[in-house]
């Protein structure tokens, strides 16, 4: 009782206050100060984007220009719903809920790409767009996602820095990397193994890291250990297409993954896929041309697919086609699928793509062709017509074939 009384009394002597202003006023002042900092950075801010509770996604450099009127212009080196390098303007707010919050409160395809849900992925990429301001200065904002809790860093861009030219370089490097399907890891002039850029990650064996484009090359979000060296920065040599590690004699050299038509026709091939029940099929197959049409078929010829050879990528393309007739006399079509919709469009398809090289084999998976976002899956439906089908003409669901893969014996 005495102690409490004493407390009560001290709380009245205004000289001893811990803070010299009320919490509401301090919050108000903080928000005003943050806004002032945000808008006064002459050349804007650069945010390194991560999303997912454990930073599973990310790799985008996002440049932001905050204006006094509550709008923010955003541009990134990462292709989202819009092409990399496109500037989009939306709104931001500084709010006082759960501490000071920087909220990107109207839609911006570049920023909200990281949080947009879809029917096939209801969490989306689990990105935040409401951030608690952990610390702020004219050099750096430390932001903590309100929902997922991921900490992001936003740095003021130097006023002499040419954002436009930097972006052009970053976009070019990012494009080159994403095109570099497979690469050789060459350490002190010896080949250590094979790695790849896939789905926004840099991968060697079990090591996997997001990467950011820099003006001169790439920087790994987590360093890779090779020998005794920890490597995170690479310089990109645009002439040779080689990524050269900083301070270590290590090169990342792209592998030409194109396969000549003659190898398809003469090589020893295996084809595999899973059906809807998850049963795995593996069969030796041959490629042969007949009347200008390329076919892939197994020995007994009871499995046969029309394919086409794409010379520019050295790959084969599988497109929607009639597989057989069912017992009711309907045509069984194989159609593409993107996780939520099935497409009858016969210009879409799946394209083979080399994903790994082992001592004995070249291994190929299948990627979206003719459009983006198709799953490595064909859905089998019966239709009344054998001509290009109409969605409305679908009679019956038959099966689903997934995880198409090819193996070429060395």
Partner 1 sequence: MKRFLLYTMIGCMSLASVSCSDESLDNKSIFDTAKTEQNDFDKWIRNNFTEPYNVEVVYKLNDNISDYDYDLAPAEYSQSIELAKIIKHVWFGAYDEVAGVDFTRQLVPRTIHFVGSPAYNDDGTMVLGTAEGGLVITLYMVNYMDYFLSQEDYMERLNHYYFKTMHHEFGHILHQKKPYDTNFQKITEGTYVGGDWYQYSEKTARQLGYISPYSRNEVNDDFVELIANYVTHDQEWWDAAVADGNSTDKDGTTHNGGNLLEEKLAIVKTYCRNSWGFELDELRDAVQRRSKELSTMDLTTLN
Q: Which of residues 90, 336, 352, 400 is near partner 1 by CB under 8 A?
A: 90
Strand 250-254 relative to strand 242-245: parallel, antiparallel, unpaired? antiparallel
Using rule CB under 8 A, residue 118 touches partner 1: yes
In whole angstroms, what is the distance from residue 35 CA to residue 44 CA? 12
| Tokens found for residue 130 | 């409401």
Q: Which of residues 57, 72, 77, 112 is near partner 1 by CB under 8 A?
A: 112
Q: Cβ neighbours of residue 192 under 8 Å, at least 6 residues apart?
A: 185, 186, 226
> What is the layout of strands, in order, in the sheet containing 100-103?
88-91, 71-76, 57-66, 45-51, 151-156, 140-145, 130-136, 100-103, 93-96
Contact map string, positions 329 to 358, toward partner 1, x by CB under 8 A: -----------x------------------
In whole angstroms, what is the distance from residue 266 CA to residue 355 CA? 21
In whole angstroms, what is the distance from residue 333 CA to residue 397 CA? 10
Supply the minimum distance, in Å, between the C-beta of residue 340 and partner 1. 7
Provide the terminal-to-terminal Cα distance of the chain, rounded to the nearest Å. Answer: 86
Using rule CB under 8 A, residue 146 touches partner 1: yes
Using rule CB under 8 A, residue 117 touches partner 1: yes
Using rule CB under 8 A, residue 91 touches partner 1: yes
Biggest CA–CA distance in the chain, Å, is 102
Q: Which of residues 17, 139, 147, 299 is near partner 1 by CB under 8 A?
A: 147
DSSP H helical ranges for 146-207? 163-179
Using rule CB under 8 A, residue 52 touches partner 1: no
In whole angstroms, what is the distance from residue 349 CA to residue 340 CA? 16
Q: Which of residues 73, 86, 106, 365 is near partner 1 by CB under 8 A?
A: 106
Using rule CB under 8 A, residue 178 touches partner 1: no
Supply the minimum distance, in Å, between the C-beta of residue 341 and partner 1. 12
Distances 403 to 118, 139, 272, 366 between C-alpha atoms, Å: 22, 48, 8, 8
The residue among 336, 322, 304, 339 whose CA lies nearest residue 387 is 322
Query: With respect to partner 1, which residue has the nearer C-beta, 124 or 241?
Result: 124
Query: With respect to partner 1, which residue has the nearer C-beta, 23 or 160?
Result: 23
Using rule CB under 8 A, residue 68 touches partner 1: yes
In whole angstroms, what is the distance from residue 334 CA to residue 346 CA? 10
Stretch that binds partner 1, among 9-17, 53-61, 161-169, 260-268 (CB under 8 A): 9-17
Using rule CB under 8 A, residue 23 touches partner 1: yes
Supply the minimum distance, in Å, between the C-beta of residue 18 and partner 1. 16
Using rule CB under 8 A, residue 69 touches partner 1: yes
Using rule CB under 8 A, residue 70 touches partner 1: yes
Supply the minimum distance, in Å, between the C-beta of residue 277 and partner 1. 21
Using rule CB under 8 A, residue 12 touches partner 1: yes
Strand 207-213 relative to strand 217-226: parallel, antiparallel, unpaired? antiparallel
Residues in touch with partner 1 (CB under 8 A): 1, 4-5, 7-9, 11-12, 14, 22-25, 28, 31, 68-71, 90-91, 93-97, 103-107, 112, 115-120, 122-124, 126, 129-130, 146-147, 340
């Amino acid at each position: 009782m005495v102690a409490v009384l004493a407390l009560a009394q001290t709380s009245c002597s205004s000289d001893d206050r811990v803070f010299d202003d009320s919490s509401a006023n301090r919050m108000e002042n903080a928000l005003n100060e943050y806004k002032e900092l945000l808008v006064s950075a002459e050349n804007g801010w650069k945010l390194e984007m991560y999303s997912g509770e454990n930073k599973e996604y990310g790799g985008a450099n996002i440049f932001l220009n905050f204006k006094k009127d509550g709008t923010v212009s955003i541009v990134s080196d990462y292709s989202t719903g819009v092409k990399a390098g496109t500037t989009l303007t939306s709104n931001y707010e500084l709010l006082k809920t759960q501490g000071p919050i920087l909220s990107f409160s109207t839609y911006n395809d570049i920023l909200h790409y990281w949080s947009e849900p879809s029917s096939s992925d209801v969490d989306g990429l689990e990105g935040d767009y409401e951030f608690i301001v952990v610390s702020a200065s004219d050099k750096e904002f430390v932001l903590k996602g309100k929902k997922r809790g991921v900490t992001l860093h936003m740095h003021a861009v130097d006023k002499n820095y040419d954002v436009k030219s930097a972006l052009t370089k970053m976009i070019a490097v990012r494009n080159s990397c994403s095109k570099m399907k497979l690469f050789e890891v060459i350490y002190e002039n010896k080949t250590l193994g094979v790695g790849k850029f896939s789905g926004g990650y840099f991968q060697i064996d079990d090591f996997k890291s997001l990467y950011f484009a820099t003006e001169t090359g790439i920087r790994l979000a987590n360093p890779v250990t090779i020998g005794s060296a920890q490597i995170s920065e690479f310089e990109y040599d645009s002439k040779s297409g080689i990524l050269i590690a900083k301070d270590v004699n290590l090169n990342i050299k792209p592998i030409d993954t194109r396969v000549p038509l003659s190898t398809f026709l003469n090589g020893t091939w295996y084809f595999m896929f899973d059906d809807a029940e998850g049963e795995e099929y593996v069969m030796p197959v041959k490629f042969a041309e007949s009347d200008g049409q390329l076919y892939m078929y197994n020995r007994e010829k009871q499995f046969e697919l029309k394919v086409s050879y794409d010379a520019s990528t050295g790959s084969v393309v599988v497109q929607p086609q009639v597989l057989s007739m069912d017992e009711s006399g309907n045509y069984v079509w194989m159609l593409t699928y993107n996780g939520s919709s099935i497409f009858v469009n016969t210009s879409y398809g799946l394209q083979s793509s080399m994903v790994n090289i082992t001592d004995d084999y070249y291994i190929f998976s299948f990627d979206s062709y003719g459009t983006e976002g198709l799953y490595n899956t064909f859905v089998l439906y019966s239709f009344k017509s054998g001509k290009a089908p109409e969605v409305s003409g679908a009679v019956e669901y038959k099966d689903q074939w997934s995880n198409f893969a090819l193996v070429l014996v060395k």
